[in-house]
Amino acid sequence: MSDLGYLPFDCDNHYYEAQDTFTRHVPKAMQPRCVQWVEMNGHKHHLVGGKLSRAVKNPTWDPIAKPGAISDYLRGNPNKLMPKDLLTEREPLPAEYMDRDARLAKLEQQGLEALWLFPTLGVLYEENLKHDTEAVKVQFRAFNRWLDEDWGLNYKDKIFGAAYITLADVDFACEELEWALSRGARVVVMRPSAVWTANDGVVSPSHPMFDPFWARLNEAGIPMVIHAGDSGYTTHGYVPDGFSAGVISDMRPSIKHNNIERAANDFLSTICYEKLFERFPNLRIASIENGAEFLPDLVRKLGQSRDRLDTAGYYKEDPVEMFKQHVWINPFWEDNVYEVEEIMGPDRVIFGSDWPHIEGMVHPLDYLSELTKFDDNKKKKILRDNALDLNQPRPL
């Protein structure tokens, strides 16, 4: 709790998926192509598209490591401990990780106004299914119906669950967006990735073929979040490919630990290069849990692109200014938030704790200690006002 005089809005909270999240609404005939449970050596695991998922060691979540368990390690490891040592302390699965009423009570206890709520495993499994577009559609329609039943897309104007959008089929994406809007959605989410389609190969998310989706989102005026997940990045043989939880599952430093930033950088750069915001000027994109270390170079290269193409008249608007107008950045808590604010301005930085994940904060408002050099006005924008503004639909 704090004496700020207002309650912050946490733009990055997570649920842990229930035992039947991925199966409740999937027809039995499709389940072998989607997500199934399998037991091996006395432990339960997910098969995703018929292949064993190693995204997490225990997808039942019980018992579970505590929030922020490796936060000191990420800060620089002052106690010189290994992550596996930090993860030995476990607890029975708390109710607020899976129950919305328990989460409301926790929200009040934590001193928060409201929160955006994102998947834990849900942002990882499109990659495993991408070669089977029909399975992607069936799985994520089922996933969104589970989300609506267990959490809601707008629960008491406090908990805003983000429906997962895949562009694998543009008509399907439009249908899911319409469904989410009908359920009171204030935010939707996708992984930052190129799009695998059934008939057109792998294409950019801002390819004109997806304009019907972006046009409807532009009209509805709710934000799209690109959230860290498995974006399918290759390491080109330097280390084995495949998603892992970075420092948790692989102690050796490697370029795999850069994949989250690479994915966000490539997605955001591409939609600017391809002038998505010129086509749809009411779009708002929030980058959540992707960090911000890529930001200075992204802005520099957008400026280079503008200057080199100026005489050709490619851009009608300055791509740097368009980026700063249409994109909000949620830094990692260990990032330099002052650098992010200097680049984006105080109106485009949003606070998210990643609670209750182990790499997030022990308590959401521990983040206050990262903002001490800001005046009260900037602090309030970052902690509350910017996210509240994003959470307010701005329909055309």
Quick check: is 357 in a domain? yes
Percent residues over pLDDT 70 in the chain: 97
Task: Supply the pLDDT for residue 312.
Answer: 84
**Number of domains forming the structure of the chain:** 1
pLDDT band, very low/low/confident/very high, at 247 (cuts 50, 70, 90): very low
Backbone angles phi, psi at 106, to 5 degrees: -65, -40
- What average pLDDT score do residues 50-60 get? 92
From residue 321, alpha-carbon distances to 180, 185, 225, 266, 327 in Å are 30, 28, 20, 18, 10
pLDDT band, very low/low/confident/very high, at 175 (cuts 50, 70, 90): very high
Quick check: is 264 in a domain? yes
- For residue 209, count other CB atoms closer than 10 A to its CB: 14
pLDDT band, very low/low/confident/very high, at 250 (cuts 50, 70, 90): low
Task: Supply the pLDDT for residue 246.
Answer: 45
Average pLDDT of every residue of the chain:
95
Quick check: is 139 in a domain? yes
- For residue 258, count other CB atoms closer than 10 A to its CB: 16
Are the CB atoms for 186 and 176 separated by under 8 Å? no
Quick check: is 35 in a domain? no
Does the structure show a pLDDT above 90 at 249?
no
- What average pLDDT score do residues 151-165 get? 98
Residue 179 maps to which CATH number?
A: 3.20.20.140
Q: What is the pLDDT of residues 227-243, one digit of tens each?
A: 999 999 998 999 888 77
Task: Supply the pLDDT for residue 251.
Answer: 59
Domain that holds residue 251: 9-29+95-391
Task: Supply the pLDDT for residue 371.
Answer: 97
Quick check: is 366 in a domain? yes
Task: Supply the pLDDT for residue 237.
Answer: 92
Q: What is the pLDDT of residues 266-283, one digit of tens each?
A: 999 999 999 999 999 999
Quick check: is 77 in a domain? no
Integer Cα distance of 115 and 119 in angstroms: 13
Quick check: is 66 in a domain? no
- What average pLDDT score do residues 62-76 get? 90
Quick check: is 89 in a domain? no
